[in-house]
Structure formats: C-alpha cells, structure tokens
Amino acid sequence: MKDFNYYAPTEVVFGENSEEQVACLVSKYGGHRVLVHYGGKSAIKSGLLEKICGLLADAGIKYFKLGGVVPNPRLSLVHEGIALCRREGIDFILAIGGGSVIDSSKAIAYGVPYDGEVWDFYLGKAEPECCLPVASVLTIPAAGSEMSEASVITNEDGGVKLGYSNDMSRPKFAIMNPRRTFTLPPYQTAAGVTDMMMHTMERYFTHDDDMTLTDAIAESVLRTMKDCVFAVLKNPEDYRNRAQIMWGGSVAHNGLTGCGISDDWATHQLEHELSGMFDVTHGAGLAVIWPSWARYVYKENVSRFVRFAVNVMDVPNDFTDPEGTALKGIEATERFFRSIGMPTTIHELIGREITDSEIKEMVRKCSRGGSQSTGCFKVLHAADMEAIYNMAR
Amino acid sequence: MKDFNYYAPTEVVFGENSEEQVACLVSKYGGHRVLVHYGGKSAIKSGLLEKICGLLADAGIKYFKLGGVVPNPRLSLVHEGIALCRREGIDFILAIGGGSVIDSSKAIAYGVPYDGEVWDFYLGKAEPECCLPVASVLTIPAAGSEMSEASVITNEDGGVKLGYSNDMSRPKFAIMNPRRTFTLPPYQTAAGVTDMMMHTMERYFTHDDDMTLTDAIAESVLRTMKDCVFAVLKNPEDYRNRAQIMWGGSVAHNGLTGCGISDDWATHQLEHELSGMFDVTHGAGLAVIWPSWARYVYKENVSRFVRFAVNVMDVPNDFTDPEGTALKGIEATERFFRSIGMPTTIHELIGREITDSEIKEMVRKCSRGGSQSTGCFKVLHAADMEAIYNMAR
C-alpha cells in the first residue's frame, strides 16, 4: 500500500436547519466582507439567495453578490470576481450552488491575492502562496467540490478545460440541506450521482489491492448511491434518499475513498475534453466515456473488475470465467447508467455523430499535443485516447 | 434522520515515511516551543522519542519532554504538564503514544490558558474558551483520540474517570506509521481493536434506521477490523493488516460512523467505572460489558441486532426467528472477543469475583448517585446498570 495524506478540514453542517447557521459560520471563519457567488435563476427562484443574504445582513456582515456562473465555469467570470473582490476589499467567498459555483469561487480565491494571471495555476506555470477562505451552501450534490481541494475552470479562449488542486482551497464549511435538492431535474440528479460514483471509481480501479478498508468504504459509497438514485428519480422529495446522495457526494471526493491507493482519473481527463468542446453536462460525459475506458483497460487487472462486478453491481461470480464476470460488470454499469437516463455514446450526448477531426482535436488537447499521457490503471497515450473515443462514438 | 455536523480537520500523514515530516508539520501549525508528551519505556526503547526530538532539534524547534503517562491517564500529571507549559512558554503539544497520551495532552492544552481548575471542564462546571494546539505521533491504534474531539481523564482522588469533548481540541495532525505498531503485545492489539469496534458499535446500535450510507461505512469498518485482527495476532509484522487497523481506529472515531444518527455510549459509560475502579485496559473492559448490555437491550430494536448479526458477524439469517438471529449475533461477538484473547466476564477481567458492594459503588458513580441515566438505544437507570454489571460478573 502507498503512504497517504488525508486532510478534509471542511466543517459539514448537514440537515434541514443547517442554513440558519450561515452567518455564525462565516464569522467563525473570519469573514467580514463576503462575496456571495452563485449561478442563475434557481438560487433566486427558490428564495435561497435572498434567505442567505438576509441572514448575513441581520448579522451585520457586508456582502456583495456576483451571479452568472454556468456549468463548466468560465475564466472570464473568475476575472470579474477577482476584480470585484479587490475593489470591495472582500475577505471571504461564499458559494451558493453546486460544483461549478464552488470551483469558480476557488479560482477567484486564488486570484485575489495573486499579482499574475490566475490561469497560470491551472496551466501549471505558478503556485499560489495563499488564497481567500471559501465556503459553500450546497444545492447540487455531484462534484464534491464542497470538501475537495480541486477546481476545474474552462477558458473560453480555445475551449480549454483544466483542473487545479491545492489543499489551501478546501472550503471552510459546507452547509447541506437535502431539501434544497428536491427541485433538481432528473437529468441533473442522475448526472450528479454518476459524477460522485465516478469520483469513487477513479480511485477504486487500482493495482493496489491491499487497502481493504478503503475498498470497503468505496463499495459502500457506490452501492448506496446506486440504490438511492432510483428512489429520488421516482420521488424527488424523498428526503432520506436525497440526504444519502448529498452526503455521498462529499464522502466520494473528500479523499477518503483514495487512502493508500494509486488513483486513475483517465475517464475524467477524457471527459473534460468532451465537455470543454461541446459544453455538455460533466456527469453525462463520464457515463459515455467510462464503459469504453473499462473495456479498453480491464485486462490490466481482471480481478479488480470481477470484484467491482460482484461487490458493487451484483453480478453473480462465474468462478470459471473471470473475464466474463468482469465484462458483465461493465455491461451492468452501462445498463445502470441508461436506466437512470444517462447517455452512453457520444452520439446520444451531443445529439449528432462526432467527426474524426473533432476526436483528433480532443486527443490533441488531452495529450497536450501528444506529449502527455493520462491514467494509472493503464497509462494512456494519444493512440489509446483515440481508440477509447472511437469506442464511445 | 438527524441533522448532523461532521468536522474532522486533522491532517493525517500515514505511512512508513510519515515521521520524517514531524518538524515541518509542527511549524506549519504554529509550534515554536513544544511539549513532547509521552508514556513510558516503549517510546524510549523503540528509539521513536529520540528520533522525533532529533528532528525537532534539527529544525530549530525548542522542545521540553514530559513522560510518565499511564493507561487511564491521571489528573496529577495533567497538572504537572500545565505548570511546565506555563513555566516554559510552550505553544504546542506533541503527543507520542496512544489514546492515553493524546488525552492527557488535550487536558493539558485546555488547562494552560485557563485560570481555574482544568477538572472543571470534565465535571461540566466550565467551558474552555481556547486551548493550545495538539498533535500526535500515534503508536497505539485504539482510542481514536488522534482525530477525535474527546478525551478521558482519571482523577486519582476518588478514582473518578470522566470524559470531556470539544472540537477545539481536535488534533492538528496525526502521524501514523504502521511499522511502529509491530511491537504491540497481542493483548493490547486485541484490546485496541475491541475499542475501535466499540466506537463504531456505540453509534451503530441506534433507532435511526434511515442513514444507509453511515450504516454501510460502519459495517465496512467493523468487518475490516474483525478480519484484520487475526492476521496481526498471527504475524505481528504484517504491515498491510497493521495499516488497516491503524487507519480503522481513526475512521471509527472521527465522527464518520455517526453521521445522521443518535449514538448510545452506555457500554463506554459502564466500562469507565470498571477501569476507573480496577485500572484495567479499557478495550478489555468493553469486551466484558458489551455482551451483557446487548442481551439486556436487544429487544428495543431486534431488527438492528439482526442486521448486525448478518452483515457484520456472518450469522445466517433465520427469517422465521429474528430474535434467535439477533441472539446468535451477540453470541458470535462474544466468541470473537474470546478468540482474540479478550475477557468476557468481570471475573476474568479483574482476576477475582467482584463484590456486591463494588457493583453498587460503580452504579452509584455511573448514575451520579442515581440522578443520571446513560444510553440512548435504551435509556439505562441505576437499576438497569446494576442488572448489566450483574450479568457480566
């Protein structure tokens, strides 16, 4: 097993009454002048934005609103946020929304105290020395950004989507009220569950077979998410199962499911090019890529895929045919994605045939012009990426 | 399900090379003048104490040593530590050892900036406003104190053992090298695993049946600990399984296994009187109390005991006889404790028959003279406590 660090300092305040604590928590973590960062109409329509701002105002905390975050959050809005924070002397960023809003907040938080261009961090050209404190009122369980050190930003100039991770951006607190997720549409609910399952699976598919506690916890998360999603698709106001999914999204990506193992992330890398180019929902893109990735790589460690098939996907173990069992696990996963309304081909995802030149362009970006590989379970070079994209057409 | 807070900010640095980072971590969390707090001969004999002190010295960090912590750590040494910290202007406490050393460190950390008597916090007479930062180099996986907010101190004046919990005492970092646990004797290894399983079971036995993710994670911890302990009792230098146990002890008590449920803690409360009076190993005392507690309370929620029997103890589910299945799960647990060398009666634990008056004295303390109940799965009053102690004789 590998040495590991586990660091998830975010204070999670979970439940129906959690929002009431927002002003107290902002003060506790040093916020005096707060950027309230959000997306679009749902935060306004639901009354959540107004409620949070009211609670801050009642506590005498000055706040400044910046909305307009879109899925695959844009660098231009990050720049706007940085300028606003500097102008108003903002010392705390409160994200109201899901992963896109939190990721945008993290990027702003890095950028405010930095003299150069914030995109440099995402390009790997610089490292931040500090950042503003970030926290969230979560409304979309999916990305796990509410406890993670990761953020992903899209530079509209060229449609380049890049991630950057640094522990200093781990949010100070996360307020999670499952009731706020009742209005999530089925597609977004399912894409969110796919994303959190993939955060677990990117770590689960490893050659380090000796961290049994991590494996057991990962399987717990995967089985729970798989079971709960059907209940909430049937009844969107099922508090109990909305709560499992909301908490599951955080557990899946706060580091716990990766302790002591080498993680992969090839599916995420391949998907980032898809959503970077076609502006599709990240979770749906993952459902498209994973089955092809799995079929392309499973022979690297058949027993791990058998374990997944049996322990997570409830495939009966055919002891005489491990490869057959492994493949049945992949098929069962694909069927599961379809059953919750996810696409499993690029055609379904983008609504038309993808062209060869578009695939080549994605490969070029994902491999940084052929110079960079991705993945760990099987190291993928440009030709491997192209093969997987073609399998997923 | 219940609203919950989850807050486990401790930075875990886990693995064979983790100790090398001690000075860097102390500096990162603001330590300049460090109390190195430890127990007895094992930290010296193993060379760990010398190594840690050497690393601090090399980094120019001033340190002061205070050893002598014993199991069921004493208030008198806490007082000594507080005086030393004040005298030397110490700003950071580094525990080298297990739960007793970490708990003693937490008590010192509360006491240094407090004008009154630190025991007041444990008596519930006062609340601390701040405390010194605490961290640990863990050598005994058991208590989970390395990530928890809890500490338990014994006041020799009357043999009173009391716990106090406060998030501000959660350790800043925990260095965990499984290799340091190779020399733990079998009895201490088994008592440690019993303790960490009980930290999970105190939460698992609840009437809140709706937090499926928490239940699944709890069962993962319990099954992993149950399986790994046999491997390390057979081969004390089994790194892989020592690692599962070491990490399992932290996961069991950092709050994760209690998210969204009501916890019980009656077994711990009843045991504290045993180890307070007879100075026995806490984990061994838990193995003695739990089976009697379980038989006394299981009818409050038979289905939960059936779930435990089937999902954790591998008892076949007799669907026609839930009570029988529940009882078989309790028997299997008792057999498990015996198989790893734990006592399951007070007689075995203290080496002689306990007297009626000793039981009455424990009941008097545990119920604070009859005025206080304990437990949540079934609320236990003085008569219930006496019945359980008698069942465990």
Q: How confident is the model at residue A338 (pLDDT cuts 50, 70, 90)?
A: very high
Residue A1 has pLDDT above 90, yes or no: no
The rounded Cα B273 to chain-centroid distance in angstroms is: 15
Is residue A275 less than 8 Å (CB to CB) from chain B?
no
Q: How confident is the model at residue B40 (pLDDT cuts 50, 70, 90)?
A: confident
Q: Rg for chain A (alpha carbons), in Å?
A: 20
The DSSP element (H or E) to which B164 belongs, if any, is strand B160-165
Percent of chain A scored above 90 by pLDDT? 95
Is residue A211 less than 8 Å (CB to CB) from chain B?
yes
ipTM rounded to 2 decimals: 0.94
The DSSP element (H or E) to which B27 belongs, if any, is helix B22-28
Nearest to A15 among B3, B12, B248 (CB): B3
Domain formed by B186-391, architecture: Up-down Bundle (1.20)
Residue A329 has pLDDT above 90, yes or no: yes
What six digits make up the tokens of B239?
């790194």
Side-chain half-sphere exposure of B108, counting CA atoms within 13 A: 35
Q: Express each pLDDT in A242-299 by its tens digit.
A: 999 999 999 999 999 999 999 999 999 999 999 889 989 999 999 999 999 999 999 9
Is residue A182 less than 8 Å (CB to CB) from chain B?
no
Contacts of B246 (CB under 8 A, 6+ apart): B14, B138, B141, B176, B178, B181
| pLDDT attached to residue B107 | 98
Residue A238: how many other CB atoms lie within 10 Å: 17
Distance CA(A155)–CA(B235), nearest Å, equals 54
Is residue B211 less than 8 Å (CB to CB) from chain A?
yes
Distance CA(B207)–CA(B377), nearest Å, equals 7
Q: Rg for chain B (alpha carbons), in Å?
A: 20
Q: How confident is the model at residue A238 (pLDDT cuts 50, 70, 90)?
A: very high
Nearest to B216 among A6, A18, A220 (CB): A220
Instruction: Please give the backbone phi and psi of residue B380, each rounded to the nearest 5 degrees, phi first.
Output: -105, 125
What residues of A are in contact with residue B6 (Cβ under 8 Å)?
11-12, 14
Is residue A30 less than 8 Å (CB to CB) from chain B?
no
Residue B276 has pLDDT above 90, yes or no: no
Question: Contacts for A162-166 with beta carbons within 8 Å, 24 or more apart?
Answer: A162/A122, A162/A123, A162/A272, A163/A122, A163/A272, A164/A107, A164/A110, A164/A121, A164/A122, A166/A110, A166/A121, A166/A127, A166/A128, A166/A131
CB contact under 8 A, A259 and B248: no
Is residue B228 less than 8 Å (CB to CB) from chain A?
yes
| pLDDT attached to residue B169 | 97
At the fourth CATH level, the homologous superfamily of domain A184-391 is Dehydroquinate synthase-like - alpha domain (1.20.1090.10)
Q: Express each pLDDT in A92-127 by its tens digit.
A: 999 999 999 999 999 999 999 999 999 999 999 999
Distance from CA of B134 to the nearest CA of A (A): 15
Is residue A13 less than 8 Å (CB to CB) from chain B?
yes
The rounded Cα A241 to chain-centroid distance in angstroms is: 20
Chain A, 147 to 176: residues with Cβ < 8 Å from chain B are none
CB contact under 8 A, B260 and A248: no
Q: How confident is the model at residue A77 (pLDDT cuts 50, 70, 90)?
A: very high
In the beta sheet, which residues pair with residue A93?
A35, A134
| pLDDT attached to residue B192 | 97
Residue B173 has pLDDT above 90, yes or no: yes
Is residue A191 less than 8 Å (CB to CB) from chain B?
no
Q: Tell me the average pLDDT of chain A.
A: 96
Q: How confident is the model at residue A160 (pLDDT cuts 50, 70, 90)?
A: confident
Is residue A4 less than 8 Å (CB to CB) from chain B?
yes
Is residue A235 less than 8 Å (CB to CB) from chain B?
no
Chains A, B: CB pairs < 8 Å: 108
Distance from CA of A253 to the nearest CA of B (A): 14
Residue of chain A whose Cα is closest to the Cα of B16 = A3
Nearest to A243 among B1, B6, B8 (CB): B1
Is residue B142 less than 8 Å (CB to CB) from chain A?
no
CATH number of A11-180: 3.40.50.1970
The full 3-state SS of chain A, as one line of letters, equals CCCEEEEEEEEEEECCCHHHHHHHHHHHCCCCEEEEEECCHHHHHCCHHHHHHHHHHHCCCEEEEECCCCCCCEHHHHHHHHHHHHHHCCCEEEEEECHHHHHHHHHHHHHCCCCCCCHHHHHCCCCCCCCCCEEEEECCCCCCCCCCCEEEEEECCCCEEEEEECHHHCCCEEEECHHHHCCCCHHHHHHHHHHHHHHHHHHHCCCCCCCHHHHHHHHHHHHHHHHHHHHHHHCCCCHHHHHHHHHHHHHHHCCHHHCCCCCCCHHHHHHHHHHHHHCCCHHHHHHHHHHHHHHHHHHHHHHHHHHHHHHCCCCCCCCCCHHHHHHHHHHHHHHHHHHCCCCCCHHHHHCCCCCHHHHHHHHHHHCCCCCCCECCCCCECHHHHHHHHHHCC
Nearest to A3 among B18, B220, B251 (CB): B18
Q: Region B116-120: what's the mean pLDDT?
A: 97
What residues of B are in contact with residue A228 (Cβ under 8 Å)?
212
Is residue A355 less than 8 Å (CB to CB) from chain B?
no
Burial class (CB in 10 A: 0-12, 13-18, 19+), A87: exposed
Distance from CA of A248 to the nearest CA of B (A): 7
What residues of A are in contact with residue B14 (Cβ under 8 Å)?
3-6, 259-260
| pLDDT attached to residue B29 | 97
Is residue A40 less than 8 Å (CB to CB) from chain B?
no
What six digits make up the tokens of B193?
């695993």
Window from B12-26, B91-105, B149-163, B186-200 with minimum mean pLDDT: B149-163
Instruction: Please give the backbone phi and psi of residue A5, each rounded to the nearest 5 degrees, phi first.
Output: -110, 140
For residue B92, give the 3-state DSSP assignment.
strand
Q: Express each pLDDT in A341-356 by its tens digit.
A: 999 999 999 999 999 9
Percent of chain B scored above 90 by pLDDT? 95
Instruction: Enumerate the CATH 1.20.1090.10 domain ranges in chain A, comma separated.
Output: 184-391
| pLDDT attached to residue A161 | 86
Burial class (CB in 10 A: 0-12, 13-18, 19+), B301: middle
Is residue A232 less than 8 Å (CB to CB) from chain B?
no
Is residue A366 less than 8 Å (CB to CB) from chain B?
no
Q: How confident is the model at residue B257 (pLDDT cuts 50, 70, 90)?
A: very high
Distance CA(A242)–CA(A235), nearest Å, equals 10
Q: Which residue has the tokens 């236990």?
A: B380
For residue B377, give the 3-state DSSP assignment.
coil
| pLDDT attached to residue B241 | 97
Residue A40 has pLDDT above 90, yes or no: no
Side chain identity, residue A27: S
| pLDDT attached to residue B41 | 83
Q: Select the residue from A2, A14, A229 to test the B interface by mutation, using most B Cβ atoms within 10 A.
A: A14
Residue B160 has pLDDT above 90, yes or no: no
Q: Tell me the average pLDDT of chain B.
A: 96
Residue of chain B whose Cα is closest to the Cα of A240 = B210
What residues of A are in contact with residue B243 (Cβ under 8 Å)?
1, 211, 260
Instruction: Enumerate the CATH 3.40.50.1970 domain ranges in chain A, comma separated.
Output: 11-180
| pLDDT attached to residue A300 | 97
In eight-state DSSP terms, residue B18 is G
Is residue B210 less than 8 Å (CB to CB) from chain A?
yes
Distance from CA of B246 to the nearest CA of A (A): 11
Q: Select the residue from B2, B10, B13, B14 to test the A interface by mutation, using most A Cβ atoms within 10 A.
A: B14
The rounded Cα B160 to chain-centroid distance in angstroms is: 17
| pLDDT attached to residue A209 | 80
Q: Region B16-38: what's the mean pLDDT?
A: 97
